[in-house]
Amino acid sequence: MSTGSPVGSHRVVSPAGALPQAADRLDPDPRIADDEVRIRVERLNLDAASYRQLHTAHGGDGDAIRADVRDIIERRGKMHNPVTGSGGMLIGTVDAVGPRSPLGLKVGQKVATLVSLTLTPLHIDDRLEQWDGRSEQVPTSGHAILFARSIAAVLPDDLPEHLALAVLDVCGAPALVRRVVARRADPATVAVIGAAGKSGSLSLAAARDAGAATVVAVVRDEIEDARLRWAHLADDIVIADATDPLRLARKVDKALDGRGADVTVVCVDVPGCEHGAILSTATGGTIIFFSMATSFSAAALGAEGLAADVEMLIGNGYVPGHAEYALDLIRGNAHLKDLFIDRVGEES
C-alpha cells in the first residue's frame, strides 16, 4: 500500500466519499499504508452508553451481547454501535509503524487509542471467546489501524493502567480549560458544573494550574461535596441542581461575590444545563460545554433569549498535548490522584 488519506477515507468501503466515522463499513486489511500504524489489540473498552444499550436489548444475556458485538465488528470492520452511534477506545501494543507515520509511535509500545472506535478499522481473530459479555471491558485479540491523523497515547509505566485509562478518557477537558483560562487578560473566576466527576475534577485542577483567581465547584449533593472537600481542588463548593437555572446562577453568583464566572465549564451529563450555565456566566465570559447531553439549539437560543454576551464553546476532545497534560496533573496532585483511584476502585 502507498500513502493513505490522513483521515482514513481510503479505508471506507461504503458509502463512497464518507469519512470513517460516518461510514457503514471500513476495510481492516492488516497491510498498512506508509502513514498508518497497526496495533495488536488486547482489550476494547466499550462506551458506557453503547454497553448499556446492548445489555438492555439482550436482557443482560452475556452470550447474546457477545454475539451482537462480534457481528457488529465483523459486519462493519469497526466497533460502531448502530443504535447509540458510539464506540469506545482500545488498548494494545504497537505492531507495525509505516515509514511516514507522523504519530511518533514505536513497535512494542503499549498504547490506548484516543480516537473513537467508531472510526478505527478493527479485526478480531478470537470470536471474542475470552469475554463473557458481562462488562464493558472486552479482552480479545486482533488488530486495529491508526491513520496519520489518529491519536494514541503511550500508557505510562508510573501509573496503574486503569487509572491512566480513566484519565486519558477525559483528557481533552483539562487541556481546553487550561487554554481558555490562561488566555484571559486578568486571572479568571471559574465555575465547574459537575465538578466531582472525572472531567470535572481534572477541570478544577487545570483551572488552578492556569492561574484562575477563584475556582468554584458545583456538585449535586452532600456526598459529592464531601468527596471533593478533602481534595482541596476548589476555593468554594456549592451544592445545586444544574438543571434549575435561576437557583444555580444565584448560588454561583453568591460564591463569586455577585458576579458570574468568567469561565464556566459544564461537565454534567444530563440534558437541560444550558440556561443555568449561561446565567452563571459573567458578561464577556466563556462557557465550555463538555457534556454530550448539550443541546446546540438550547444553548444558542438560550443565550439570545437572555441577551447574554457570552462565548459558548463546543468541547473539542482534542487539544495538542492533552494526554500528557492530564497525566501530569494527576502525577502532580496527590489529592486529585486519590480522587481518581477512589473512582476506579479495585480495578486498578
Can you read off the three cell numbers belonging to residue 269? Answer: 451529563
Binding-residue pattern over the window 85 to 114 for a copy of itself, x denoting contact by CB under 8 A: x----------------------------x
- Judged by CB under 8 A, the number of residues near a copy of itself is 52
Which x/- pattern over 21-50 shows residues binding a copy of itself (rule: CB under 8 A)?
A: xx----------------------------
Phi, psi for 327 (deg, rounded to 5): -65, -40
Q: Looking at 116, 140, 199, 203, which residue binds a copy of itself (CB under 8 A)?
A: 116
Name the 3-class secondary structure at 66: helix
Task: Tell me the per-residue interface mask from 50 to 79 with a copy of itself, x by CB under 8 A, - otherwise.
Answer: ------------------------------
What are the φ and ψ backbone dihedral angles of 182, each rounded to 5 degrees?
-70, -25
238 phi and psi, to 5 degrees? Answer: -125, 135
* Binding segment (CB under 8 A) for a copy of itself, from list 14-22, 66-74, 202-210, 254-262: 14-22
Burial 104-113, CB ≥16 within 10 A → b, else e? ebeeebbbbb
Query: How many helices, marked H, and strands, marked E, lie in the chain?
Result: 11, 14
What DSSP character marks residue 230? Answer: T
Which is closer to a copy of itself, CB of 118 or CB of 333? 118
Q: Where in 7-82 does DSSP place strands (E)?
A: 12-14, 25-26, 37-46
CA dihedral 227, 231, 234, 237 (to 10 degrees): 20
User: Which residues have C-beta within 8 Å of that of residue 72, sequence separation ≥ 6?
Assistant: 79, 80, 81, 82
Q: How far is CA 332 from CA 119, 138, 210, in A?
A: 33, 31, 14
Q: State the binding string over 137-176 for a copy of itself (x if CB under 8 A, else -).
A: ------------xxx--------------------x----
Contact indicator for 235, 243 with CB cutoff of 8 Å:
no
Minimum Å gap between C-beta 113 and a copy of itself is 11
Q: Within 218-277, which residues bind a copy of itself (CB under 8 A)?
A: 244-247, 275
Contact with a copy of itself (CB under 8 A) among 4, 11, 20, 255? 20
Q: How far is the CB of 317 from a copy of itself (least distance, A)?
A: 3
Restricting to residues 295-334, which ones interact with a copy of itself according to CB under 8 A? 295-297, 299-320
Question: Interface with a copy of itself includes 185 (CB under 8 A)?
Answer: no
- Helices 198-209, 161-168: axis angle to 10 degrees equals 80
User: Residues in the site for a copy of itself, rule: CB under 8 A?
Assistant: 5, 7, 9, 17, 19-22, 85, 114-116, 118-119, 149-151, 172, 244-247, 275, 279, 289, 292, 294-297, 299-320
